């Protein structure tokens, strides 16, 4: 299967503190890849490298290369704005804009000029909500404030918002950490459904979640990539002792 992301010796430091060291990883297209590891291991930092969200943070410097479809995303001719349209992101805490549900979803298509007419925009919003499995819950109140929805719904709005830009990759940074089990289940179901069309990379602190949703899993520890393999392998017969210790709950 084709490789979507190829990272070579990626190293990120904040001021002079190294957050991740020498990460080389190949991420397959249209699969779900999970990044696991104890907190502070650098998995979120790595994730934010993939769509250059680290650019926003002061004093953050990055070395090595990240290739998206064999093109270096840190190359001089790459516009991070364009990149982020291809590599969408869903954050740990649901962050709907304080606007209506419709405007939240329509925001991406609007700024990128994806719709040439109002009707087209409506279609995009409708389709995205449908893909996110939200359409039945919100179709009668598209003009309500998105901030008035429940936490799980807010997070799915954020996913729908990301889908609306039709990205190739969706990065998810612990998307379920603030949600209850039912809402989590719904999001996992949603991830499964959309994984055929999108490459999904998810950071999670829950090993069960990684085991449930992902095909491939990478285990990070203290800024190093310890092990990267098929999820089944990692959870049944890990090669590294640290991985073994972590998934059996000896630390973390």
> By C-beta, is 161 or 216 nearer to other proteins?
161
Q: Is 161 helix (H, G, I), strand (E, B) or coil?
A: helix
From CA 154, how far away is CA 165, in angstroms rounded? 17
> Which is closer to other proteins, CB of 74 or CB of 107?
107
CB of 90 to other proteins, least distance (A): 8
CB of 119 to other proteins, least distance (A): 17
Minimum gap (Å) between residue 142 Cβ and other proteins: 18
Type and span of the H or E element at 248: none
181 in helix, strand or coil? helix
Q: How far is the CB of 121 from other proteins (least distance, A)?
A: 14
Q: How far is CA 210 from the centre of its chain?
A: 13
CA–CA distance, 157 with 142 (Å, rounded to integer): 11
Least separation in angstroms between residue 164's CB and other proteins is 8
**With respect to other proteins, which residue has the nearer C-beta, 88 or 223?**
88
Closer residue to other proteins in complex, CB, 52/221: 52
By C-beta, is 54 or 243 nearer to other proteins? 54
Contact positions toward other proteins, by CB under 8 A? 51, 53, 56, 58, 79, 81-86, 88-91, 93, 95-99, 107-108, 111-114, 158, 161-162, 165, 171
Quote the DSSP letter at residue 145: B
Nearer to other proteins, 78 or 185 (CB): 78
**Least CB distance to other proteins at residue 112 (A):** 5
Report whether 99 contacts 161 (CB < 8 A): no
Instruction: Tell me the residue length of the chain.
Output: 252
Closest CA to 129 of 116, 117, 119, 142: 142
Cα separation, 238 vs 241, whole angstroms: 7
């Amino acid at each position: 299967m084709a490789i979507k992301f190829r990272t070579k010796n990626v190293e990120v430091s904040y001021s002079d503190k190294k957050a991740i060291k020498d990460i080389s990883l190949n991420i397959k297209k249209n699969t779900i890849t999970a990044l696991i590891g104890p907190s502070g291991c650098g998995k979120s930092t790595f994730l934010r490298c993939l769509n250059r969200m680290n650019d926003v943070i002061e004093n953050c410097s990055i070395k090595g290369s990240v290739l998206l479809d064999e093109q270096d995303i840190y190359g001089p001719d790459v516009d991070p704005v364009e990149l982020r349209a291809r590599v969408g992101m869903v954050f740990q805490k649901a962050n709907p804009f304080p606007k209506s549900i419709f405007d939240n979803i329509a925001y991406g298509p609007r700024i990128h000029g994806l719709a040439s007419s109002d009707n087209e925009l409506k279609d995009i919003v409708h389709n995205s909500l449908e893909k996110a499995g939200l359409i039945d819950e919100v179709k009668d109140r598209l003009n309500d404030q998105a901030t008035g929805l429940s936490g799980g719904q807010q997070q799915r709005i954020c996913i729908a918002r990301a889908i609306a830009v039709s990205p190739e990759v969706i990065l998810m940074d612990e998307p379920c950490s603030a949600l209850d089990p039912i809402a989590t289940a719904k999001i996992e179901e949603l991830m499964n459904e959309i994984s055929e069309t999108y490459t999904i990379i998810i950071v999670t602190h829950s090993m069960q979640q990684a085991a449930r949703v992902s095909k491939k899993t990478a285990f990070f520890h203290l800024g190093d990539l310890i092990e990267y393999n098929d999820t089944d392998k990692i959870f049944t017969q890990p090669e590294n002792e640290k991985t073994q210790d972590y998934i059996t709950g000896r630390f973390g």
